[in-house]
Amino acid sequence: MKVFKFGGASLKNAQAIRNMSTIVLDYAEGPLVVVVSAMDKTTNALERVVHAFVKGENYQAEISRIIGYHQAVINELFENPQEILGTLEGLASQLTEKLQSPSEEDKLYDQVVCFGEILSSFIVHHYLTTIGLKNIWKDARELIRTDSTFREGKVEWALSESRIISLKKDLQTHVIITQGFIGGDAEGNSTTLGREGSDYSAAIFASCLQADSVTIWKDVPGVMNADPKRLQAAVVFEELPYKEAAEMTYYGASVIHPKTIKPLALKGIPLLVKSFTNPSLPGTKIHDCKVDHLPPMIVFKDNQCLISCKVTDFTFVNEDQLRAIFDALSELNVKLNVMQNSAISFSFCIDFRENKVMALIEKLQERFEVYYNTNLTLVTIKNYDEQSFETYRKKPGVILEQSSRSTLQVLVKE
């Protein structure tokens, strides 16, 4: 049993969907579960709809653009698109209905944003059927049960497992097409698992079904030791231990969603990262293995913010003050990317999400003088060697540096 995951880039137009279908057909003898994300940047567009709705602005234009884009893909993919276009219209009205009643913002977000995956999976399902692949569309919101933490649903494993296992019978005869990123809570609301969470969904399905492997099909030839758009000399790993891959995602490598590795590692299910443009390339296998002499891995994390809390009363930073800072962070659910303290100040680097950062600063100002810088890039060099260590420490614009025996981190203002 295999689980495949196709992301937005691999579904971005009719041509891409044909390409993904060719890959799926190659494995059609199954059993196979195919998890799809929303097409291209649809999730961002749906976020704009929610944003406009909440602000009382016009959101209809954005919905029309989203539907128009899906319509165009359908028109290009199907010889007789009428019936599929009819279903799309139905889904479009369901989406608009979600915006009729006022609701708490994060909850509304999940009810609306989940449509990206619903739309893409329904198109993929119909297209695969048209080309003769026996497949069934399944609603992930009825399979993956989460709590009601909207935008960051926590998976309720036991219930999800019992539902997902029930797919086994259909899997003997059909490929299952389902959605990444989305789940449902006990009240019947849609939930989402956090941005880019489709990889995690694939891992949930694989874990519950005891799959032989998960394959994430990407626009890169595999997991690389740096983003090739930023570092031309980046190389592809043939294999990686789970732990190394998990740490890379922790530091911000966007190749795999951070929550993906754990459920797979716990069951020893290998994770393959392969190129959808060149499926014959071997890609990267993440599994239980030992690799000697890994090259340095360089991870860039943009849009960082450095906050410094300075004590104001000539005392030094003490544990009580640190606790106040950590309480504020935990209350606002903010994750620290780097921290450093000195005699009279404590500095830390976090992702810049404007509303959160402003709320945090306001809270910290009750006790500290607070300074902050935005537009920073955090560069992490894991398994550094002498050369990479020197190169990144001396990078122009470094405003904070920290190193351990294996990892160097520099925060850079570019």
Binding positions for ligand ASP, rule: CB under 6 A:
7-8, 37-38, 43, 116, 180-181, 195-198
Q: Which does 116 bind (CB under 5 to 8 A by kind): Mg ion, ligand ASP, none?
A: ligand ASP
Residue whose CB is less far from Mg ion, 37 or 146:
37
- 296 is a contact residue toward Mg ion (CB under 5 A): no
Q: Which of 5-13, 184-192, 225-233, 340-348 is the region at the interface with Mg ion (rule: CB under 5 A)?
A: 5-13
Residue whose CB is less far from Mg ion, 153 or 296:
153
Residue whose CB is less far from Mg ion, 229 or 293:
229
> Can you tell me the distance from the alpha carbon of 268 to that of 335, in angstroms, rounded to the nearest whole number?
28
- For the CB of residue 198, give the shortest distance to Mg ion in the complex, in Å: 6
Residue whose CB is less far from ligand ASP, 38 or 164:
38
Residue whose CB is less far from ligand ASP, 210 or 254:
254
Pairing of strands 297-310, 369-382: antiparallel
- DSSP strand E in 201-277: where? 213-218, 239-241, 271-275
- For the CB of residue 8, give the shortest distance to ligand ASP in the complex, in Å: 5
> Quick count: other Cβ atoms within 10 Å of Cβ 230?
12
Residue whose CB is less far from ligand ASP, 5 or 126:
5
**Helix residue spans in 56-138 (DSSP H):** 60-77, 82-98, 105-113, 115-130
**Helix residue spans in 271-353 (DSSP H):** 319-331
Pairing of strands 32-36, 2-6: parallel
- 283 is a contact residue toward Mg ion (CB under 5 A): no
Q: Which does 184 bind (CB under 5 to 8 A by kind): Mg ion, ligand ASP, none?
A: none
> Can you tell me the distance from the alpha carbon of 363 to that of 330, in angstroms, rounded to the nearest whole number?
12
- For the CB of residue 259, give the shortest distance to ligand ASP in the complex, in Å: 11
- 8 is a contact residue toward Mg ion (CB under 5 A): yes
Closest-approach residue to Mg ion (CB)? 8
- For the CB of residue 396, give the shortest distance to ligand ASP in the complex, in Å: 33
Q: Which amino acid is at 300?
A: F
Find out whether 343 and 350 touch, Cβ atoms under 8 Å. no
- For the CB of residue 412, give the shortest distance to Mg ion in the complex, in Å: 26
Q: Which of 7-15, 160-168, 258-266, 271-279 is the region at the interface with Mg ion (rule: CB under 5 A)?
A: 7-15
Angle at 412 between CA 247 and CA 351, to 5 degrees: 55
Cα distances from 118 to residues 35, 236, 288, in angstroms, run: 11, 33, 34
Q: Which does 181 bind (CB under 5 to 8 A by kind): Mg ion, ligand ASP, none?
A: ligand ASP
Find out whether 376 and 398 touch, Cβ atoms under 8 Å. no
| x/- map, 92-111, Mg ion, by CB under 5 A | --------------------
Choosing from 2, 3, 7, 224, the residue that interacts with Mg ion (CB under 5 A) is 7
Residue whose CB is less far from Mg ion, 7 or 263:
7
Residue whose CB is less far from Mg ion, 60 or 254:
254
- For the CB of residue 181, give the shortest distance to Mg ion in the complex, in Å: 8
- 37 is a contact residue toward Mg ion (CB under 5 A): yes
- For the CB of residue 166, give the shortest distance to ligand ASP in the complex, in Å: 24
- DSSP strand E in 111-174: where? 135-137
Q: Which of 33-41, 144-152, 165-173, 381-389 is the region at the interface with Mg ion (rule: CB under 5 A)?
A: 33-41
Radius of gyration of the chain (CA): 23
48, exposed or middle or buried, with CB in 10 Å at 0-12, 13-18, 19+? Answer: middle
Of 250, 279, 273, 251, the C-alpha closest to 262 is 250
What tokens does 347 get? 């500095």
Q: Which of 6-14, 256-264, 372-380, 386-394 is the region at the interface with Mg ion (rule: CB under 5 A)?
A: 6-14
> Can you tell me the distance from the alpha carbon of 335 to that of 329, in angstroms, rounded to the nearest whole number?
7
Q: Which does 195 bind (CB under 5 to 8 A by kind): ligand ASP, Mg ion, none?
A: ligand ASP
Closest-approach residue to ligand ASP (CB)? 198
> Can you tell me the distance from the alpha carbon of 194 to that of 181, in angstroms, rounded to the nearest whole number?
7
**Helix residue spans in 301-343 (DSSP H):** 319-331
Contacts to Mg ion by CB under 5 A: 7-8, 37
